[in-house]
């Protein structure tokens, strides 16, 4: 199983610049935008000399961990789509290693050779769902890895006498104090995963509230202080507007009392994105774990996995923006749950009544039924790469470069919802036409982009923002990707019709003796006189 997983992991690194697989079961907006958005700070740091563009979308203010990692990588590789995706494949490799250690750490008592750890590693490596989303340079894979590392740190806690408790657990507490703020600064929804981490600390201390509080509170407090230091020293004095904007832009929820049942149904139903065989097996594992809750107390990882998956599903239902990529954070714990429940319940129960080989065969059937169809689809994706988005971005960049030969004064700045992705692929500077702390009319007035790239058509609000300032000319179109609403990238040249307004100086205050109240102003006749 581990050998097969190693081969499948290697396939993740093949054709890294290829499109997110076209005509796949997952229609996710992230394949047009998120790789650039959430790495923008690193991209701009090397392309523009500064990471922050005032008034534009700057998510690194609240989510700095991933762009910092990309910036470190780009120092050696330069800004590169392949390098960014190689980094996230490395993160996925870390997920597999952490999965192995976590399941080995919580191997049931009496089980000499664990099947859960290699089975879970194989199922994750074979999953086409994991394949497509752990090859995108997005936040979710890193969020999963940091969660697994925090669970490993929680697993390292050990019970001890009162006087020795803190000293013995100091390394684990320090690791948790570092990983908890990293979790939130990787993606703020990591807050929903903290209960799973707390449970493992509680279980590691033999379910004793006193030791749990003596270990957990200092670790959580130190983590909170680290987060407050970041917020107080950097965000609050300099970047508070951008920080608040990220939350306001994502604060909506479509769930109401009237549609609660429908939203919850859709949230559970869309779990099928994880795998047509894996997901039903995961639901069965959840049911078995719920029925056998007291019995599974001896395997604390299983309740922790339930808390992880349940906490994030609760967020998905509340947010009611059921994009497939969000389910990656649920797919990993459910995959581990399938393997853990299989080992904890199926094998011992069978082996007590029949030869152990029967139990092994039953487990093998479960693993093969999930992994073989998944691996076939993953291999199919690898065998049929397409490069339509990369080609479109490069052709767009070439058009702008050729135009600058004739008109070197024309601003190369690109305005587009996919601008950050195009910057990652080509180096072309860009700003976003959708998100930003400045309203779009003010943003285009401030930066005066020379080009606009839209998918399929210009939306009315974008047209309203640009027409007072620019003459808009469609100059090229590039087919890309498979979404019927976003499969043609259209390039427009923006020629300014209004000169850039001068920066207005702040006027001096009116002297008090010249101020008048309403009704005290002189009449027209008095002014003429």
C-alpha 178/C-alpha 3 separation (Å) is: 33
Mean pLDDT (the chain) is: 89
Q: d(Cα 499, Cα 265) in Å, to the nearest integer?
A: 54
Q: Is the pLDDT of residue 209 over 50?
A: yes
Q: Tens digit of pLDDT for each residue in 293-303?
A: 776 667 899 99
What confidence tier does 524 reach under pLDDT thresholds 50, 70, 90?
very low
At residue 255 the predicted structure's pLDDT band, cuts being 50, 70 and 90, is confident
Q: Look-up: residue for tokens 């390394």?
A: 171
Give tens-digit pLDDT for 398-428. 999 999 998 899 999 999 999 999 999 999 9
Q: What's the whole-model pTM score?
A: 0.91
Residue 511 reports pLDDT greater than 60: no
- 65 pLDDT exceeds 60? yes
Is-contact 177 217, C-beta < 8 A?
no
In degrees, rounded to 5, the angle at the alpha carbon of residue 366 between the alpha carbons of residues 362 and 367 is 115
Average pLDDT over residues 437-460: 94
Residue 106: pLDDT above 50?
yes
Mean pLDDT lowest for which of 136-140, 183-187, 222-226, 405-409?
A: 405-409
pLDDT tens per residue across span 274-295: 999 999 999 999 998 888 777 6
Span 12-36, pLDDT tens digits: 999 999 999 998 999 998 999 999 9
Neighbours of 77 (CB within 10 A): 13
* Cβ-proximal residues to 52 (8 Å cutoff; 6+ apart), any chain: 41, 44, 58, 239
């Amino acid at each position: 199983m581990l050998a097969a997983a190693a081969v499948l992991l290697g396939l993740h690194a093949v054709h890294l610049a290829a499109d997110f697989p076209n005509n796949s079961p997952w229609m996710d907006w992230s394949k047009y935008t998120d790789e650039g958005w959430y790495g923008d700070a690193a991209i701009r740091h090397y392309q523009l000399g500064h990471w922050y563009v005032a008034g534009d979308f700057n998510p690194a203010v609240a989510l700095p961990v991933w762009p910092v990692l990309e910036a470190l990588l780009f120092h050696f590789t330069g800004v590169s789509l392949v390098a960014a995706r190689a980094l996230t494949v490395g993160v996925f490799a870390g997920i597999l290693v952490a999965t192995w250690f976590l399941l080995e750490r919580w191997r049931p008592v009496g089980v000499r050779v664990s099947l859960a750890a290699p089975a879970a590693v194989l199922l994750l490596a074979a999953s086409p769902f994991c394949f497509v989303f752990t090859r995108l340079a997005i936040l979710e894979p890193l969020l999963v890895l940091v969660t697994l590392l925090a669970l490993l740190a929680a697993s390292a806690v050990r019970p001890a006498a009162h006087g020795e408790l803190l000293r013995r657990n100091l390394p684990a507490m320090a690791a948790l104090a570092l990983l908890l703020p990293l979790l939130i600064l990787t993606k703020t929804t990591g807050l929903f995963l903290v209960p799973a981490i707390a449970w493992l600390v509680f279980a590691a201390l033999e379910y004793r509230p006193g030791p749990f509080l003596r270990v957990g509170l200092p670790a959580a407090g130190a983590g909170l202080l680290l987060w407050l230091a970041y917020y107080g020293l950097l965000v609050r004095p300099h970047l508070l507007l951008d920080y608040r904007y990220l939350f306001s832009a994502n604060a909506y929820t479509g769930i109401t009392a009237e549609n609660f049942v429908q939203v919850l149904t859709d949230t559970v139903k869309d779990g099928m994105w994880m795998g047509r065989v894996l997901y039903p097996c995961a639901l069965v594992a959840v049911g078995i774990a719920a029925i056998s809750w007291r019995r599974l107390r001896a395997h604390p990882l299983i309740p922790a996995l339930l808390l992880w998956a349940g906490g994030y599903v609760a967020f998905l239902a509340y947010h009611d923006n059921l994009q497939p990529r969000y389910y990656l954070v649920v797919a990993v714990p459910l995959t581990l749950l399938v393997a853990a429940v299989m080992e904890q319940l199926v094998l011992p129960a069978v082996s007590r009544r029949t030869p152990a080989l029967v139990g092994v065969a039953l487990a093998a059937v479960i693993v093969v039924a999930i992994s073989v169809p998944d691996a076939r689809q993953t291999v199919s994706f690898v065998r049929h790469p397409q490069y339509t988005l990369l080609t479109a971005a490069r052709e767009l960049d070439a058009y702008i470069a050729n135009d600058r030969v004739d008109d070197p004064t024309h601003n190369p700045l690109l305005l587009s919802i996919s601008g950050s992705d195009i910057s990652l692929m080509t180096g072309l500077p860009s700003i976003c036409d959708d998100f930003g702390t400045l309203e779009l009319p003010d943003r285009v007035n401030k930066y005066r982009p020379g080009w606009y790239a839209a998918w399929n058509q210009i939306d009315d609000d974008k047209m309203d923002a640009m027409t007072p300032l620019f003459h808009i000319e469609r100059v090229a179109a590039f087919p890309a990707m498979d979404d019927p609403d976003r499969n043609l990238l259209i390039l427009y040249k923006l020629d300014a019709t209004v000169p850039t307004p001068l920066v207005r100086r702040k006027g001096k205050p009116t002297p008090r003796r010249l101020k008048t109240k309403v009704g005290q102003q002189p009449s027209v006749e008095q002014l003429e006189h």
